Amino acid sequence: MREIVKRILLAAALVAMLAPSALAGGKLLLGVAGAHSGDLASYGLPTVNAAKLVADKINAAGGVNGMTVEVVAEDDQCKPELATNAATKLLSDGVKIVLGHICSGATKAALPIYLDGEMVVMSPSATNPPLTQSGEYPNFFRTISSDDAQASLDVAYAKTLGLKKLAVIHDKGDYGKGFATFAKQFLDADPSMDVVLFEGVTPGAVDYSAVVQKIKSAGADGVVFGGYHPEASKIVMAMRKKGLDIPFISDDGVKDDTFIKVAGQYAEGVYASGPKDFSKNPLFIEAVAAHKAKFGTDPGAFFPEAYSAALALLNAVKVAGGTDYAKVCEALRTSFVDTPVGKIKFDAKGDAEGVGFSIYQVKGGKYVQVQ
């Protein structure tokens, strides 16, 4: 029985190789779209590295059903209009599976094009809830949980810390403000906690001392911050230097080792929600080692999620026996795959099952999961 299956698969692979389709020349194109230049490049480039590493690994093991994986990287600078260009470029190039985009806004702009071209998209970092929850994009998957799940977890944790008056700060961005708005909703719903300040800071501003003074004068006993680590580290450092020693709770944009590196001693005690701890996962250790060997540096933001997404996509192609749209989607929803973020498959809406959030705290220069 197994022999027959093998033969069928082999025949299917041969047919796929001979067929003058997107798999021309026994190549499987893996599109990678995201910010590879501009101010948000530091969030996009790790994904490209992850895709390259996964492709190397799979190719070294004989490829996917005999096809060599080739990475096609397209830059969108996190701008919607460039994202549509990148998407049509990938569509024209005959790419069928795409890892990306990085920003939720760019993803939203590009998805209709992918949907029309029957391409499967998986983002390592687009956390905007409606992307999956609206059900408008059956071709969209992600290896990260959505913002509202995170916000409710953070607010619940703030309650266990016994905080009463919270200042909610965000970076005015799509991601940060979305998270902060959810956090505010959950806080407003809870009568025992008050939002004493809800404000946005300008990303990249020279300093944030005025906002910190405002948090102080509002009498907040805790800060919830939505946004990324550069702003978070600036605010935390300014708070601590001004002697404002209240809990700082943030999102997975801050749960990044760069945050600890940059904020140094001031990072101690900061809480951040992030994907469940996978630092002991052998695949994750292997991926980080491979990154160090090839690029000589530690991987950047969203690297494990991107690495997992690339593995999941390629595994789905393998299981589906080709890049047929319906089959790949089916494979993603039904078959489990081992990835650095754990053993995952995807639910009907496209969110990964087995990926969840937990709260971390910086202790001794490391993020430690809080029980």
Partner 1 sequence: MSNATNDTQEKSFLGLLLTAGCDSFPQALWRSLIAAVWFVFLTFPIMVIRVNTIEHTVVWHWQRMGYVAVGIFFGSFVWRWLLARKELKKDAASRESKAESLLTRIQNNPTSKYLLLALIALLAVAGPMKFSLFGSKLQLLNLYQTNIMISCLVYIVLGLGLNIVVGLAGLLDLGYVAFYGVGAYAYALCNMHWGVGFWAMLPVGAVLGALLGLLLGFPVLRLKGDYLAIVTLGFGEIIRLVLENWGDVTMGPSGISNIDRPALFGIKLGIIGSTHYMYYIMIGLLVLTIFCVNRLQNSRIGRAWLALREDEIACQAMGIDKVKTKLMAFALGATWAGMAGVVFAAKTTFINPASFTFWESAIILSIVVIGGMGSIRGVIAGAVILILVPEYLRDFAQFRMLLFGSIMVVVMVFRPQGLISAKRKLYTYQAKPAGAANE
Partner 2 sequence: MEYFLELFFGGLTRGSIYALIALGYTMVYGIIELINFAHGEIYMIGAFTGLIVAGLLTMLGFPGISILAIALVCAVIWAAAYGYTVEKVAYKPLRGAPRLSPLISAIGMSIFLQNYVMLSQTSDFLPFPELVPKFGFMKHFGSMLSSSELVIVVATVLVCVGLTLFIKYTRLGKAMRATAQNRKMAMLVGINVDMVISATFIIGSSLAAVGGVLIASHIGQINYYIGFIAGIKAFTAAVLGGIGSLPGAMLGGLVLGLTEAYATGYVSSDYEDVFAFCLLVLILIFRPAGIMGKDKIQKV
Given partner 1, partner 2, none, residue 234, with its beta carbon under 5 to 8 Å by kind, binds: partner 2
Q: C-beta of 91: minimal distance to partner 1 in Å? A: 6
Q: Which residues ranging from 128 to 187 are in contact with partner 2 (CB under 8 A)? A: 172
Among 21, 133, 134, 213, binds partner 2 (CB under 8 A): 213
Q: Does 52 bind partner 1 (CB under 8 A)?
A: no
Given partner 1, partner 2, none, residue 116, with its beta carbon under 5 to 8 Å by kind, binds: partner 1
Residue 42 or 185: the one with the smaller Cβ distance to partner 2 is: 42
Q: Does 113 bind partner 1 (CB under 8 A)?
A: yes
Query: Residue 45 and residue 230: Cα distance in Å, rounded?
Result: 17
Given partner 1, partner 2, none, residue 296, with its beta carbon under 5 to 8 Å by kind, binds: partner 1
Q: Does 139 bind partner 1 (CB under 8 A)?
A: no
Residue 88 or 358: the one with the smaller Cβ distance to partner 1 is: 88
Beta strand 140-142 with 120-123: parallel, antiparallel or unpaired? parallel
Residue 35 or 352: the one with the smaller Cβ distance to partner 2 is: 35
Query: Residue 164 and residue 219: Cα distance in Å, rounded?
Result: 10
Query: Residue 314 and residue 58: Cα distance in Å, rounded?
Result: 9
Q: Write the single-letter amino acid at 185.
A: Q
Given partner 1, partner 2, none, residue 292, with its beta carbon under 5 to 8 Å by kind, binds: none
Q: Does 92 bind partner 1 (CB under 8 A)?
A: yes
Residue 57 or 216: the one with the smaller Cβ distance to partner 2 is: 216
Q: Does 261 bind partner 2 (CB under 8 A)?
A: yes
Given partner 1, partner 2, none, residue 31, with its beta carbon under 5 to 8 Å by kind, binds: none
Given partner 1, partner 2, none, residue 214, with its beta carbon under 5 to 8 Å by kind, binds: partner 2
Rg (CA), the chain: 21
Q: Does 159 bind partner 1 (CB under 8 A)?
A: no
Among 106, 112, 194, which Cα is nearest to 158's? 194
Q: Which long-range contacts (CB under 8 A, 24 or more apart) does 234-241 make?
A: 234/207, 234/208, 235/169, 235/201, 235/208, 235/211, 236/263, 236/266, 236/267, 236/270, 237/263, 237/266, 238/207, 238/208, 238/209, 238/211, 238/212, 239/212, 239/215, 240/266, 241/266
Residue 138 or 200: the one with the smaller Cβ distance to partner 1 is: 200
Among 192, 144, 167, which Cα is nearest to 305's? 144
Q: Does 185 bind partner 1 (CB under 8 A)?
A: no
Q: Does 52 bind partner 2 (CB under 8 A)?
A: no
Q: Which tokens in the block code for residue 229?
A: 């680590």
CA 334 to chain centre: 21
Which residues bind to partner 2, rule: CB under 8 A?
A: 37, 39, 41-42, 45, 172, 199-202, 204-207, 209-211, 213-214, 216-217, 229-230, 233-234, 237-238, 241-244, 258, 261-264, 266, 297, 300
Which residues bind to partner 1, rule: CB under 8 A?
A: 36-38, 41, 45, 73-75, 78-81, 84-85, 88-89, 91-93, 104-105, 108-109, 112-113, 116-117, 128, 136, 172-174, 177-178, 200, 261, 296
